[in-house]
Structure 1
Amino acid sequence: MYQLDHLADVARKAVRIGHELIKTARPETVTEKTDRDTFTDVDVRIEREIRAYLAEATPDIGFVGEEEGRSDRAANSAYLWGLDPIDGTANFVHGIPLCGISLALVRGAHTIVGAVSLPYLELHYSAVAGRGSFVNGKRLTASGTTELAKSIVAMGDYALGENAVEKNRQRIALTAELAAQVERVRMFGSAAHDLVWLAEGRVDAAIILSNKPLDLAAGILIAREAGVLVIDSTGSEHTSTSTHTIAVAPGISSKLLALVRSVMRMG
């Protein structure tokens, strides 16, 4: 069977395919999936090219993509590649240079390899479970912040589609409470950015009031391997079935979780 080092190398090479395509292509078609949630011809092209590369490099491993779903191999494979070809598609469409390619290798309920590339910033992140996480070859360590008042907190996108108004009342309430207590709140529009920048210590927490395993798996592994605590809003360890995604530097974890839970109770 494949060695983890080999699989990590495959993952890094795969996201570089998307890295180069994003840098050299502009979207010609933008298609609406749901209310204000879109994908482009570039998303599809990246997914197809990475799918083809992985099918050749790891023919026994299944694949599921954000845009075109599962490969025929996925049902019978113990391992599964999960790809978000462009995380931050709205940013990409509007020329905002905050988007990335996110690829995870999952075995059962556990992510064992993750790779994220941020093309416009030339940043390449990767992690193997139990072996740490890295950016451009440099080992990552989460922020040592211990004070909420000195923390930068990344907030996930507001909700779209069904029940968006109700969901956003809670998000807006949480944003207001954070604004009153932390140094700054930031919304980058890409969960990949939120999580890898948390791993790198650029931000001190990332709050995503949803859980999309395909989008988040690679970033969560990279964050955890840098020492980040990733939990649900209940305080339980985050899993693929969690309702929310709270990722936070250890030094402010108890204070931030208390803040989040107080808002959730009020909601």
Structure 2
Amino acid sequence: MQNEINIPIIIDAVRKAGNSFLRDYKQNAVPQTMDELVKQLEEIDTLCMSSLKEDLSNHYPDISWHIGDEFDTDSQRNPAEKQEYWLCDAMDGAIQYLQHIAGWTINLALIRNGKPVFSVIFDPLANEMFWAQDGKGAFMNGKPLEISHKTDMSVMLAVLEYGHQDKSGNNLNEKIGTTATKLIQNFGIVRNYGPHGLQLAYIGAGRIDLFVQEDLDTYNWIAGLLIAKEAGAAILTTDGTPWKWGSESLLVAQQNITEKYLQIKSIN
């Protein structure tokens, strides 16, 4: 196991991978069929992974790779059975990229003994590089991140997200609907933006005040969770318990905002 990591090398590799997509952004036709969509998503994965592996495997030959398939619900319940590996979301927000709209990033996390110890999220359009190391803080373009310190919910921005898992027969759609209603009734601004990891990084940067999701979406969350945590956010489930790998909901905000949300949620 390689304990020391060279942060500039990793950041440069992620930046190179992200910037490689800028040339063709908005140049290809928006996919009109499922076959076209799947083909273009596979091309994105291939291009991104080839770039990252080319730049990082020479420096870290003993660290294996794991692509986070957000459509595979069962695989998200536990870390991979490896002591150390890269977990890559080749493009978080790939649908936005293919639809010619902003909100797509390259996310990479280093998982060691079942927990993220380093993560990076790069937004090529904004040229913003978010990263965090376990126990050593979170940063954006080299500057330390700090979560929001708002106290007035009428000026807070809350985001509600959902994943790709099957929501038939498990009451998840009803649960999400109830959550949306609670947020709209109590927070000044409610949005659904798309790239989950980037939104969690925005929690760390104080741009978003609360993130909530009522289903399992580990692969989309993991890189952003470390960034939000290292910036000072509380990482919980929507039941108020500490989040752990495999938890089927997520609530992220400064501690006093999570407390307010949980009070709101408990009111019928």
TM-score (norm 2): 0.85
Q: 2:220 aligns with which of 198, 205, 215?
A: 215
- Partner Cα separation in structure 1 for residue 173 and residue 82 of structure 2: 38
> Match of 2:43, as an amino acid?
D
The residue correspondences of 1:94-243 to structure 2 (distance < 5 A) are 94-157=99-162, 161-163=166-168, 166-243=171-248
3-state SS in 2 of match to 1:193 = helix
For 1:58, the equivalent position in structure 2 comes to: 60
- Partner Cα separation in structure 2 for residue 209 and residue 260 of structure 1: 12
> Match of 1:80, as an amino acid?
Y
- How much has 1:147 moved relative to structure 2? 3.0
- How much has 1:229 moved relative to structure 2? 0.5
- Partner Cα separation in structure 2 for residue 165 and residue 184 of structure 1: 28
- Partner Cα separation in structure 1 for residue 163 and residue 58 of structure 2: 38
3-state SS in 2 of match to 1:216 = helix
For 2:19, the equivalent position in structure 1 comes to: 20
- How much has 1:175 moved relative to structure 2? 1.0
- Partner Cα separation in structure 2 for residue 234 and residue 134 of structure 1: 29
Residue 233 of structure 1 contacts residue 261 of structure 1 at CA under 8 Å; is this kept in 2?
no
- Partner Cα separation in structure 2 for residue 89 and residue 260 of structure 1: 32
Residue 11 of structure 1 contacts residue 114 of structure 1 at CA under 8 Å; is this kept in 2?
no
Paired residues, number: 257
Residue 62 of structure 1 contacts residue 75 of structure 1 at CA under 8 Å; is this kept in 2?
no
RMSD of Structure 2 on Structure 1 (CA)? 3.0
3-state SS in 2 of match to 1:173 = helix
- How much has 1:40 moved relative to structure 2? 4.3
> Structure 1 residues 158 and 215, CA, compared in 2 at 3 Å: closer, same or farther?
closer
- Partner Cα separation in structure 2 for residue 102 and residue 55 of structure 1: 17
3-state SS in 1 of match to 2:177 = helix
- Partner Cα separation in structure 2 for residue 253 and residue 146 of structure 1: 12
Q: 2:45 aligns with which of 39, 43, 46?
A: 43
Residue 115 of structure 1 contacts residue 125 of structure 1 at CA under 8 Å; is this kept in 2?
yes
Same amino acid, percent of matched pairs: 21
Residue 210 of structure 1 contacts residue 244 of structure 1 at CA under 8 Å; is this kept in 2?
yes
3-state SS in 2 of match to 1:124 = strand
Gaps of at least 5 residues in structure 1 are: none
Comparing 135-144 with 157-166, greater Cα deviation is found at 157-166
Residue 234 of structure 1 contacts residue 261 of structure 1 at CA under 8 Å; is this kept in 2?
no
- Partner Cα separation in structure 2 for residue 165 and residue 253 of structure 1: 25
Gaps of at least 5 residues in structure 2 are: none
The residue correspondences of 1:74-113 to structure 2 (distance < 5 A) are 77-113=82-118
Comparing 207-216 with 233-242, greater Cα deviation is found at 207-216
Residue 147 of structure 1 contacts residue 251 of structure 1 at CA under 8 Å; is this kept in 2?
no
Residue 167 of structure 2 contacts residue 173 of structure 2 at CA under 8 Å; is this kept in 1?
no
3-state SS in 1 of match to 2:62 = coil
